[in-house]
Structure 1
């Protein structure tokens, strides 16, 4: 079995299109999507249309925390990135978001969730120190969150950090990184920055071999400066810098 995993597109349609072209060039037809599809100051409507096409082609998508905000939060209470996305969406897009499951099992062997199996807003593989430094979460805490999951391969997103962690029993947890948002800051649980240091779109290929599951992390070039300029035009210099450099001020 060989398939692609994408996550955290965040309305970056240009990045998503480049990733889909790369996946097709590799001859891969099957894709799973780990959520946070639309939120951001970019092209939520175009991205949603493309997501609906992927849905028609049997792509399995789970709901991210920002996907949930778009259908559960009153429009006037949405944060800026969610509000910008909301203004571009039509009823069919909201209907699709409402149908997304919190988690899913793909082909009986792969567990999918956006963040953790318990919470769509908590990093699984990372933790943030009191002084705002993200670091690899202790193994015992990662394992505790994986209790009750029998599948040998587990996929999550949310942190935008491409990473693989092997559990003591051999199960593998993989975060494919972010297709559309290479850097950001957040104030939960403490103020911190997540920076890839590059402007490329990220995703992963998962292949089942005789020895077990093997991830291949891929970075794809696209016209990131067009998206950076769009973010700036939409009043988001923070996103503009993140898309241009993979860093935040």
Structure 2
């Protein structure tokens, strides 16, 4: 089995199109792509991204930002959702409502956005009180994997490409973010997540001799067009992150 995993598109249709092209060039068909959620939120091209995703009909799980778009009242949305919501049709919102929290794909692969029980918690990373973002201790990672029997586990949410082997041999993979390489957040402490590159990230997973091999791919695209769009929409942190993979004061 060989397939591609994408996550955290965040309305960046240009990055998504580049990743889809690269996936095709690796000989992977569209029906062998899975999507780990957070599809549309952000100040970019949510409507265009939604149209493309609906046409692809990928196996997709719901991210926390997908949930916010359908659960939060329009006037009470965070800026990421408010920017996207204005571009979405009832059909787009109905699609978000149908997305499952988690999914088992081809029996061997477990999909979720963040963790099996919570769509807002980093699975593989921990945020320390000083704001540093580090690899979580393996025991804590394994505790979150209790009850998941699949040998390959996929998650997103942190936007950082990473793979962790559990003590029983299971493998957890985060493919990184297609469309948002840098952001900040204040939960549980103020912190920044910065990929350090504006390239679009995804992962190829391949079962070889009974085990899983993982290749992370970073794909160039016209990221400056999206940076300019974020600036035009009044989102300077997005503008900086899309231009460089770092936030503004780096």
Counterpart of 2:55 in 1: which secondary structure? helix
Instruction: In structure 2, list runs of 5 or more residues that go unmatched.
Output: none
Counterpart of 1:104? 103
User: Normalising to structure 1: TM-score of the pair?
Assistant: 0.98
Partner Cα distance (1:137, 1:35) in 2: 22
Task: Say which SS state the counterpart of residue 81 (structure 1) adopts.
Answer: helix
Structure 2: distance between partners of 1:178 and 1:246? 11
In the TM superposition, what whole-angstrom CA distance separates every residue of 1:168-220 from its partner, at most 9, and x where no partner exists?
00000000000000011000010000111101000000000005001100000
Partner SS for 2:86: helix
SS at match of 2:157: coil
2:34 corresponds in structure 1 to: 32
Deviant stretches of 4+, over 4 Å: none
Task: Find the counterpart in structure 2 of residue 51 from structure 1.
Answer: 53
* Structure 1 position 113, deviation (Å): 0.2
Distance (Å, rounded) in 2 between the aligned partners of 1:209 and 1:53: 31
Q: CA RMSD in A?
A: 0.5
Measure how far apart 1:26 and its partner are.
1.0
> C-alpha deviations, 1:63-114, integer Å up to 9, x for none?
0000000000000110011101000000110010000000000000000000
In structure 1, C-alpha distance between the alignment counterparts of 2:185 and 2:170, rounded to whole Å: 30
Q: 2:172 maps to what in 1?
A: 173
Tell me the residue number matched to 1:210.
209
Work out the CA distance in 1 between the residues paired with 2:121 and 2:55: 29
Q: Give the distance between the partners of 2:226 and 2:122, measured in 1 at CA.
A: 26
